[in-house]
Amino acid sequence: MVTQRESLIELDGISWGAIFAGALAAAALTIILSVLGSGLGMAIVSPWSTAGVSATTFGISAILWLSITQIAASGMGGFLAGRLRVRWEGLHSDEVYFRDTAHGFLTWAIALVVTVSLFASVLG
């Protein structure tokens, strides 16, 4: 027997619990990898002008690290949201693919807002 709550979840088409779980995991991974990247960045910079890496190398490395961090965290959060979602019965595979993509996008958006808010509060 289907309860009223289960029928609302199926009609809604969005599993908010899965989205928030994926967003939380993505935000946590972003923070962990950002802290790790900061430590690695401090390790390669030297206060002496004749030692360490150049500013160009440091800048390119930082951009690459932040890009990889965002790709890994967003991918992991979206994957988690897709795996935790409510299973939809009787839908065409294109519709399931679209809904999984929407779950991943919403996960990324919420994780981005959470991460930016946290970093902004730390800087303030």
Q: Which residue has the tokens 């929407």?
A: 102
Give domain status of residue 7, yes or no.
no
Tokens 């972003």 correspond to what residue? Answer: 30
Domain that residue 61 falls in: 25-42+54-83+93-124
**pTM of the predicted model as reported, rounded to 2 decimal places:** 0.77
Q: Residue 26's pLDDT is what?
A: 93
Is residue 100 included in any domain, yes or no? yes
Instruction: Tell me which residue of 81, 85, 67 sits closest to 30, measured CA to CA.
Output: 67
16 located within any domain: no
Q: Quick one: pLDDT at residue 118?
A: 86
For 14-65, what is each residue's pLDDT tens digit?
Answer: 888 999 999 999 999 999 999 999 999 888 888 777 787 888 888 999 999 9
Tokens of 51: 């030692």
Give a yes or no: residue 47 inside a domain. no
pLDDT tens digits along 70-89: 999 999 999 999 888 887 77
Determine the Cα–Cα distance for residues 92 and 24; give it in Å rounded to an integer. Answer: 29
48-59 residues labelled b (16+ CB within 10 A) or e (exposed): eeeeeeeeeeee
Residue 49 belongs to some domain of the structure: no
- Residue with structure tokens 């002496």? 48
